[in-house]
Amino acid sequence: MSPYRVLFDRVATRVDPERAHHAGFRAVRAGAPVLGLRGLPGRPVQALGTTFPNVLGMAAGFDKNAVGIDALGALGFGHVEVGTVTGLAQPGNPQPRLFRLVEDRAVLNRMGFNNDGAEVVAARLAQRARRRGDRPGPVLGVNIGKSKVVPEDDQAAVEADYETSARLLSPYADYLVVNVSSPNTPGLRSLQAVERLEPLLAHVRRTADAATGGRRVPLLVKIAPDLAEADIDAVADLAVAGRRDGVLDGLIATNTTISREGLRTPAADVEALGAGGLSGRPLTARSTEVVRRLRQRVGPGLTLVGVGGISTVQDARDRLAAGADLLQAYTAFVYEGPGWPRRLVTGAQA
């Protein structure tokens, strides 16, 4: 067992998870200048018309406000997806809202898209761009979602809300993600229905194109693992049509799950934690299954990003074998520590 694992299991688990996250992220940012001297592990991957330094990225949710992109790159992540960012700043759901299920190597969250809002995050990204200049860094994805105060049944208001984020953030993004699959914003998952998703994506595409002055920003959609098989197929068909029409470039599978099946943590303890999305090891099989089904449906041309329950080198290899072009992780990084990204990349791309 690694020193980090011992420290995590015996010390960190006694600290409130959200406080531990902020403290750990501050430590990562403080150590970035030294960590960055080692360069990125792995080998380049061509996807979305971009060269990714390696196959592994940090999933959305860890760096919600774009404060540590290059620090995460220094740990070995070849791309970093910031957000979810909403058009309006919002505090998220009441605390406590983040919980560990240590026996399952899982995390339950009901954060509720807490973030500084698109305007503040855009200013932060502009400052980073000026500071970095032409120096290379991790590929930057920006994940955008619906502000909680916007009624989910008002399509025009929803599109206007996503438009705000796309207009402000697209100029700084290497790729853009429309998040319609978090379980923690009421009604959000209803936007995964094809009849609502299709016009939303078209609107975001037009907005991004207008905001970037001719530079085309690849657009992806992040979907839930809890979709029925027929709905997965419908989203896959939408993605194929969207790629043909120049709207969509890829899918990210999957977000957190509302399922509580197969957990080692006692059911009464899980129930006491309340609502939220589950991430980590319990997602491994389902997320791999969704990626495999998507690849079989969409063929070779569409970019698929596999995320959810990737903890080991074998998990990573299985997800790539199922059809993923790129991988993302979050929960395993929490449990395994700062050396984990390099170990995973080195093994997965061996």
Going by the annotation, the residues of the binding site for substrate are: 64, 109-113, 179, 184, 255-256
**Is 181 a known active-site residue?**
no
* Integer Cα distance of 234 and 294 in angstroms: 10
Tokens of 96: 């406590």
In the chain, % helix, strand, coil (3-state, to 5) comes to: 45, 20, 35
Neighbours of 285 (CB within 10 A): 14
What SS3 class is residue 110?
A: coil
Is residue 164 a contact partner of residue 118, using CB atoms and an 8 Å limit? yes
Q: Which residues are annotated as a binding site for FMN?
A: 60-64, 84, 143, 179, 222, 254, 280, 309, 330-331
Tokens of 325: 């072009």
Dihedral over Cα of 28, 117, 113, 78: its sign? negative
* Integer Cα distance of 294 and 250 in angstroms: 11
* Integer Cα distance of 296 and 11 in angstroms: 44
What does DSSP assign to residue 54?
A: S
End-to-end distance of the chain based on CA atoms, in angstroms? 23
Judged by phi (left if over 0) then psi (alpha if -120 to 50, else beta), residue 44 lies in: beta
CA neighbours closer than 13 Å in the CB half-sphere of residue 328? 28
Picking from 339, 342, 346, the residue whose alpha carbon sits closest to that of residue 317 is: 346
Picking from 221, 209, 207, the residue whose alpha carbon sits closest to that of residue 177 is: 221
* Integer Cα distance of 313 and 20 in angstroms: 26
Residue 18, judged by CB atoms within 10 A of its CB (0-12, 13-18, 19+), counts as middle
Residue 90, judged by CB atoms within 10 A of its CB (0-12, 13-18, 19+), counts as middle
Q: Which residues are annotated as a binding site?
A: 60-64, 84, 109-113, 143, 179, 184, 222, 254-256, 280, 309, 330-331
> Which member of 147, 165, 170, 182 is catalytic?
182
Active site residues per annotation: 182
